[in-house]
């Protein structure tokens, strides 16, 4: 099945990439830090290596699929030559939030900092996914009537199939997606942290938003994550702080302010306590200053 061509659609109104499907036979496009404004699905068909996603390392083997959200920094380092397929799509082309009821990949494939951003492509879905990708490639080349609608239909099949596979392989990703009260609270909590981590830093604030007691919230987070609320909030703040230190030239003071800290020195101590390194040292060793030197 020929997937060796690059097939791209550009949004005529904005000039942004809307949809892109391509084959790769090396890791050059992934060896430097990637941080795109679109979703990326990277299917490693051959080769092994290590992925660094949000500053956490994940070893991968053949038939691993990575799902990256917009602006999520990642690199792939190969131990063996890589070969595979990469599918990019812009949120304007297909918004996983608007189509959540139809696809249900938000929180499973994408936007879940609590689970690895990857799954294994097993024998039972490999051929199906290859056929869908082949149909996508043909449709991009046609440029006929209702091209967008058909491409979105194929994309939905791909997302639903891989979301189901990940849910089977990692059942914990479904916590919070059922109708039971406690898992519902978990998912709502994840969404609240993602929305408010820049401005709300205390467990009590999230307990108030959930309309439960701090003690009840502490029990839930301990049972499901084996972490405290403070741990969960701090982890999200540190991820964003590392992103800003790594990818921008903002001062530590600016980053601290953006993350809800008026006192730069307090923020620096907070960062060092959680990352075991100061913000300045982090930037000098792995961040913006070094990458532009």
pLDDT digits (tens, 9 = 90+) for 267-285: 999 999 998 889 999 888 7
Instruction: Check residues 81 and 16 and name the one with the higher pLDDT.
Output: 81
Q: Can you tell me the mean pLDDT for 17-25?
A: 90
User: What is the pLDDT, as a whole number, of residue 182?
Assistant: 52
Q: Is residue 293 assigned to a domain?
A: no
Region 165-178: mean pLDDT is 73
Q: What is the mean pLDDT of residues 51-65?
A: 91
Same domain, 225 and 279: yes
As given in the structure block, the two tokens for residue 99 are 């189509």
Q: What is the model's pLDDT at position 177? A: 47
Q: Are residues 201 and 224 in the same domain?
A: yes
Which pLDDT band, with edges at 50, 70 and 90, does 165 fall under? very high
The per-residue pLDDT for range 193-209, each reduced to its tens digit, is: 988 999 999 999 999 99
- Please compute the mean of the pLDDT values over residues 217-225 and round it to a whole number: 84
Q: How confident is the model at residue 97 (pLDDT cuts 50, 70, 90)?
A: low
Q: Which helix (H) or strand (E) holds 53?
A: strand 49-53
Q: Which helix (H) or strand (E) holds 18?
A: strand 17-24
d(CA 45, CA 62): 5
> In this structure, what CATH number is given to the domain that contains residue 195?
1.10.10.60
Query: Which of 131 and 94 is assigned the larger pLDDT?
Result: 131
- The yes-or-no verdict on residue 254 having pLDDT over 50 is yes
Which among 173, 198, 221 is the end of a domain?
A: 173
Residue 91 φ/ψ, nearest 5 degrees: -55, -30
pLDDT at site 250? 92
pLDDT of residue 36: 79
Specify burial of residue 262 (Cβ count, 10 A radius: 0-12, 13-18, 19+). exposed
Rounded to an integer, what is the distance from CA 190 to the centroid of its chain?
Answer: 14
Same domain, 195 and 168: no
Percent of the chain with pLDDT over 90: 48
What is the C-alpha to C-alpha distance for residues 56 and 50, in angstroms, rounded to an integer?
10
Gyration radius from the chain CA atoms: 20
Q: Are residues 203 and 167 in the same domain?
A: no
Sign of the CA dihedral 183, 189, 192, 193?
negative
Model confidence, pTM: 0.65
Range of the domain at 196: 184-286
- Mean pLDDT of all residues belonging to the chain: 84
The yes-or-no verdict on residue 247 having pLDDT over 80 is: no
What percentage of the chain has pLDDT greater than the value 70? 85
**Which comes out higher in pLDDT, residue 95 or 60?**
60
Same domain, yes or no: 132 and 195: no
Number of domains, the chain: 2
Q: What is the mean pLDDT of residues 15-29?
A: 83
* Average pLDDT value for residue range 92-120: 73
- What is the sign of the dihedral through the CA atoms of 91, 240, 236 and 185? negative
User: Are residue 213 and residue 120 in the same domain, yes or no?
Assistant: no
In a domain, 292, yes or no: no
Q: Are residues 135 and 201 in the same domain?
A: no
């Amino acid at each position: 099945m020929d997937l060796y061509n690059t097939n791209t659609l550009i949004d005529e109104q904005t000039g942004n990439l809307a949809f892109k499907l391509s084959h790769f036979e090396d890791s050059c496009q992934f060896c430097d830090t990637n941080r795109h404004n679109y979703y990326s699905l990277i299917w490693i068909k051959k080769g092994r290596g290590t992925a660094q996603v949000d500053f956490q390392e994940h070893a991968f083997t053949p038939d691993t699929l990575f799902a990256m959200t917009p602006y999520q920094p990642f690199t792939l380092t190969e131990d063996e030559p890589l070969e595979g397929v990469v599918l990019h799509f812009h949120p304007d082309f297909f918004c996983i939030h608007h189509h959540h009821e139809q696809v249900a990949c938000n929180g499973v494939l994408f936007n879940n900092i609590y689970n690895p951003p990857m799954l294994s492509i097993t024998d039972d879905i490999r051929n199906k996914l290859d056929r869908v990708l082949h149909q996508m490639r043909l449709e991009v080349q046609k440029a006929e009537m209702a091209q967008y609608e058909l491409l979105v239909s194929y994309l939905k099949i791909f997302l639903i199939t891989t979301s189901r596979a990940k849910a089977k392989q990692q059942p914990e990703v479904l916590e919070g997606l059922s109708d039971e009260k406690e898992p519902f609270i978990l998912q709502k909590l994840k969404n609240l942290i993602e929305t408010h981590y820049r401005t709300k830093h205390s467990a009590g604030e999230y307990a108030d938003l959930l309309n439960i007691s701090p003690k009840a919230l502490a029990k839930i987070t301990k049972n499901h994550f084996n972490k405290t609320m403070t741990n969960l909030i701090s982890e999200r703040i540190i991820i964003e702080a590392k992103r800003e230190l790594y990818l921008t030239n903002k001062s530590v003071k600016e980053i601290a302010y953006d993350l809800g800290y008026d006192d730069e020195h307090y923020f620096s101590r907070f960062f060092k306590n959680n990352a075991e390194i100061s913000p300045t040292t982090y930037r000098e060793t792995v961040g913006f200053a070094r990458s532009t030197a």
